[in-house]
A = this chain, B = another copy of it.
Amino acid sequence: MKHPGSLLLAWQVKDKHCLVIGGGDVALSRVHHLIRAQAKITVVSGPNVHPEILELEEKGELYKLLKRDYEPEDLQMYESKEQLSLESFKDIDESHYAQIDDQVKNQVFACVCCCIDDPVLSGKVYYQSKYLRLPVNIADKPPMCDFYFGSMFNQDALQIMISTNGKSPRLSKMIKDDIAKQFAGIKLNDAVDTLGDIRANLRARKLQDNSLETIEKRMEWIKKLTDFFTLRQWSR
């Protein structure tokens, strides 16, 4: 039997609102993750804010920083009072799409990360978020997490996440460092670009139409070609 695990996913929070509750080290780490993912980040930090969070705010990396304690209203702070009023979700048709898009992009938190040292309040944030159906991560409370963060390796367009499902964060880190060494000096963007150019050339010169047969042939070519060289060679 396969070893059980998590569902590792690439969450899409670009231009979506994300909420970080807390102003310490963990909050900072969440903010870093969210910046890379180009989210609109709101931090409700409490009165004590990590200096690096303040710096990030000054650089314009945050959407909003509130230096006060969490209030339940925060979970809906961007939601408009006028919501779609439908008898049932089954009545949704194309006339409602733009409004739902606006909710997804500009109103509803795509995720809530709570990183405060108050287990009772943390619990409240969890249950309030779940009632509102917001994905939530309560730091240090694994049963109150819809998702965990893992060790991340980022280089150019490549992202690698390493998880031991909480069994050994230290080992995750070690593996991450191993992988980092392996990719040192490799220009991944160049590899991605070179492969993209070749695909475009192939399309322009040899396999021009869009019949299913041609597409399949093109994919087969690209597959063989990609595998012929190593990653290091592609990045030259």
Given A97-B127, A127-B97; A159-B231 close (CB under 8 Å): no
Cβ–Cβ contact B4 & A131, under 8 A = no
Cβ–Cβ contact A150 & B12, under 8 A = no
With an 8 Å Cβ cutoff, the count of chain A residues facing the other chain is 86
Question: Of residues 56 to 102 in A, which have CB atoms within 8 Å of B's CB atoms?
Answer: 72-73, 75, 84, 86, 89-90, 92, 96-97, 100
Complex Cα gap A11–B147 (Å): 4
Binary CB contact string for chain A from 38 to 69 against chain B (1 if under 8 A, 0 otherwise) = 11000000000000000000000000000000
Asked whether A217 is an interface residue with its Cβ less than 8 Å from the other chain, the reply is no
Asked whether A116 is an interface residue with its Cβ less than 8 Å from the other chain, the reply is no
Interface residues of chain A, those whose CB is within 8 Å of chain B, are 2-14, 33-39, 72-73, 75, 84, 86, 89-90, 92, 96-97, 100, 103-104, 108, 110-111, 123-124, 127-128, 130-135, 145-150, 152, 154-165, 167-168, 170-171, 174-175, 178-179, 182, 188-189, 191-192, 195-196, 222-223, 226-227, 231, 234
Apart from A2-B154, A8-B9, A182-B182, what are 13 other A-B pairs with CB-CB below 8 Å? A4-B38, A6-B37, A10-B150, A10-B165, A11-B147, A12-B146, A89-B131, A92-B124, A92-B131, A133-B133, A157-B164, A160-B160, A170-B195
User: Which 7 interchain pairs have the tightest Cβ spacing?
Assistant: A6-B10, A133-B133, A8-B161, A7-B37, A9-B147, A7-B11, A10-B148
